[in-house]
Structures are given as structure tokens and as C-alpha cells.
Amino acid sequence: MIFFGTGSASLDSVKTRNITCQHCNNQDTIYINIYRRHAHVFLIPVFPLGKSGSTYCTHCKETLSPKQMPEALKMQYKNIKGEAKGPIWQFSGLLIFALLIVFAIYSSGKNKEDTQLYLTQPAVGDIYEYEANNGSFSTMRLEKVTTDSLFLSLNDFEISKKSRIYKIDKDENYSEITYGYSKSEMIQMHKEGIVFDINRD
Ligand SMILES: [Zn+2]
């Protein structure tokens, strides 16, 4: 499997005017082909690279790279190359990448909104993620809600990486004993970043 590579797209094929093939001496038998290269990852074009091209004589089959072109031919080649526009699909990868970023921003915003909602309207079973005094991370599970208080059972385990916190969120890790917090205390802990996320199934 090729992870990264380059490909190319044909942009234009234009017949030259008033050019004589230096190889077979026929006039107007030369075509200028323009293509644009692109980088691809997993065969998805990510972004376009430079344009290039060559000429092709339909009569004698001679092809010339830009370096080999006689001056008059090179002039026409440069004009055509300058005007040739590449297909938009060569930007596919960039577009996908942009969409992923938009989605990530949306998800993160949605998560913050949810946490705010769970904070003001707590429900039994909510999982509170918090940072412990020693810098490790753990969770609490909401077991009971009263008018002004929350009762949570602490997770017996802690984990050093915030991103791995889901690994310790297992039923058997929660102790029988619950701790009570007033709702305003919890809001304060969230403000201070001690409780940094609340999840609900
Ligand atoms: Zn020719």
C-alpha cells in the first residue's frame, strides 16, 4: 500500500499553430499537453503541486520536454500552461481535512454545552471526570440527587493520562460509599477546572 506519493491530472491538450516539427518537418502536427501533479495520501489527492507539460507530434510521435522545445514552441507552451486550470478534485484531501477540523470544533463545542446542561440538570448515572490533588485523574458517579445536593461514589482507581480516563470508568471500580456535595460546590469545582467534564450515556 502506498501511503504517500504523487500523481498527475491532464489539464489540456492543445494543437499548436504555425509550428513545424523539427523532427519530421510537418506543420501543425504538434500538440501541447499540460498536466498538473498532486500529492496523494492513500491515493486521495491532497493538494496540487506544479504544472508541467510536454509536446507530442501526431505524425512522427516525437515527444519533447520543456527543455527540449525550440523557442517558438516553448512560447506557445508557456502561454497554454499559464492558462490551464487544474481540476478541483486535486484538493480533495484538503477539503476532507478542513471538514475534520470543522467537525472537531463542533464536537468540542457540543461537549461543553452538554457538560453545562448536566451540571445544572444532574441525573443519576452521570460520570464526573476530575483532577485529583496529586495530578492524576479519576471519575465519580452520581448516585443520588436531592434539591440542593449531589451524592457521588468515587472511583477506586486513578490514571495519569487525562485522555485514558475512559479506561477506569467501569462499574466495579466505584465504591459503595458516597460523598455529598452541594450543587453550588459542584458548580464551583467545575469553574475551577477540578471537575473538567461530565458524561452521560
Ligand atoms: Zn513530427
Digit-coded pLDDT (tens) for 117-150: 999 999 999 999 999 989 999 999 999 999 999 9
Amino acid identity, residue 83? Answer: E
Place of cell 483532577: 131
Determine the distance separating the centroid of ligand 1 and the alpha carbon of 18, expressed in angstroms: 13
Nearest to 200 by CA among 93, 146, 128: 128
Question: How far does residue 25's CA lie from ligand 1's centre (Å)?
Answer: 6
Residue ranges of alpha helices (H) inside 35-150 are 71-83, 92-120
pLDDT at 1 over 60: no
- Tens digit of each residue's pLDDT (9 = 90 or more) over 10-49: 998 999 999 999 999 999 999 999 999 999 888 888 888 8
**pLDDT beyond 90 at 106:** yes
Question: 8 C-alpha vs ligand 1 centroid, how far in Å?
Answer: 25
Here the cell at position 16 is 499548436
Is the pLDDT score of 89 beyond 90? no
Provide mean pLDDT across the span 172-188. Answer: 94
